[in-house]
């Protein structure tokens, strides 16, 4: 688990200041010396709150709310961390645990997503009755995976494997696993199943196996990946997580990109 923090600028502006979450922290003040009627002054006063709220909402939607967040990383991780330099001064990343091998890079120009790595993963899942297990892999656009799964138990029919994009879809599936419209890949296993998928968007992809039987199940999931990863050769900053805290400073004058990576390995669990 890595902890990723966004350190914010404090802007000297007449209409807004930068707080802990990058939003508007003080309101707007209007002076209309030409307004003489009290009713018109009250009207303008009533408009300040909705106008301020609307602008705050627009900034929040377009630029995002920055703060500290936790990233659960896996092998062959190559994730671009983008933030607005207007709102964010620097990006800090450090380990929450004792894991090693992660590296944070900094770039003046956006790195190319043109490195291809082939790797594999195998999980043996022991799933309780009427329960599910999942694991996640970060994949960039253009990556591809080949999936095969095998029921090692008694050949139960009610075993489902589904691939979901993002935690929101995972939560949606857990609330309604029988919905056939949830999931990029859905395999109703009858002892064995195979699938192939090309990734269309950078995201965490959850591989979920649901056991809808009254008995425990053992399922082996095998994955072969062709991952698209960012080229690190043009980086002007490199910091290993073994050193502790790593920081990429952003500049309002020019773009700056941070890239978080983990070692390229194959996994059998």
End-to-end Cα spacing for the chain: 18
| Contacting residues for 221 by C-beta, under 8 A, at least 6 apart | 122, 123, 124, 125, 147, 148, 149, 161, 207, 209
Q: Identify whether residues 224 and 131 lie together within a single domain.
A: yes
Cβ distance 7 to 68 under 8 Å?
A: no
- Residue count of the chain, please give it: 269
Q: Is residue 93 in some structural domain? A: yes
pTM above 0.85, yes or no: no
Note whether residue 47 is domain-resident: yes
Question: Do 4 and 99 sit in the same domain of this protein?
Answer: yes
Q: Is residue 88 in some structural domain?
A: yes
Same domain, 11 and 85: yes
pLDDT tens digit string along 92-121?
787 765 556 788 898 888 999 999 999 999
Any domain includes 103: yes
Domain co-membership, 98 together with 53: yes
Report d(CA 145, CA 143) in Å as an integer: 7
Given this model, what pLDDT does residue 18 score?
Answer: 31
Residues 104 and 236 in one domain: yes
Which among 119, 124, 135 is positioned nearest to 78, based on CA atoms?
119
Residues 166 and 238 in one domain: no
Looking at the domain assignment, is residue 210 inside a domain? yes
Q: Does 179 fall in a domain? A: yes
The answer to whether residue 269 sits within a structural domain is no
139 and 85 both lie in a single domain: no
The predicted pLDDT at position 4 comes to 53
Q: What does the pLDDT read at residue 242?
A: 78
Q: Are residues 51 and 88 in the same domain?
A: yes
99, 123: one domain? no
In this predicted structure, what is the pLDDT of residue 207? 95
Q: Is there a single domain that holds both residue 34 and residue 70?
A: yes
Half-sphere exposure of 82 (CA within 13 A, CB side): 8
Residues 87, 147, single domain; the answer is: no
Low-confidence ranges of the chain (pLDDT < 70): 1-70, 83-87, 96-100, 155-156, 243, 252-255, 265-269
CA-based nearest residue to 139, from 49, 98, 186, 79: 79
Closest CA to 201 of 72, 79, 85: 79
In a domain, 213, yes or no: yes
Range of the domain at 69: 1-109+232-264
CATH number for 156: 2.60.120.380
Joined tokens for residue 157: 């029919």
**Structurally, how many domains does the chain consist of?**
2
What is the Cα–Cα distance from 67 to 9, expressed in whole angstroms? 12
pLDDT at 173: 93
How high is the pLDDT of residue 63? 41
pLDDT at 268: 56
Q: Are residues 245 and 178 in the same domain?
A: no
pLDDT of res. 111: 94
H/E segment holding residue 179: none
């Amino acid at each position: 688990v890595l902890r990723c923090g966004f350190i914010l600028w404090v802007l000297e502006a007449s209409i807004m200041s930068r707080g802990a979450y990058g939003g508007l922290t003080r309101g707007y003040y209007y002076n209309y010396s030409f307004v003489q009627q009290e009713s018109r002054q009250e009207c303008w006063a009533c408009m300040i709150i909705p106008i301020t709220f609307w602008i705050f909402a627009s900034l929040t939607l377009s630029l995002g709310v920055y703060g500290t967040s936790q990233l659960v990383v896996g092998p062959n991780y190559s994730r671009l961390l983008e933030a607005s330099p207007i709102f964010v001064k620097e990006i800090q990343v450090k380990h929450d645990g004792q894991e090693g091998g992660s590296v944070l890079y900094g770039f003046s120009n956006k790195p190319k997503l043109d490195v291809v790595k082939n790797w594999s993963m195998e999980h043996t899942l022991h799933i309780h009755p009427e329960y599910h297990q999942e694991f996640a892999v970060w994949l960039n656009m253009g990556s591809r995976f080949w999936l095969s799964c095998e029921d090692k138990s008694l050949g139960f029919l009610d075993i489902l494997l589904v691939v979901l994009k993002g935690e929101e879809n995972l939560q949606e599936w857990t609330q309604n696993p029988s919905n056939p419209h949830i999931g990029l890949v859905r395999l109703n296993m009858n002892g064995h199943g195979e699938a192939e998928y090309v990734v269309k968007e950078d995201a965490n992809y959850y591989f979920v196996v649901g056991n809808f039987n009254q008995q425990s199940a053992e399922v082996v999931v095998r994955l072969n990946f062709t991952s698209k990863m960012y080229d690190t050769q043009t980086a002007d900053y490199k910091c290993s997580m073994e050193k502790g805290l790593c920081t990429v400073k952003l500049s309002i004058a020019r773009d700056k990109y941070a890239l978080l990576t983990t070692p390229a390995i194959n996994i059998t669990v």
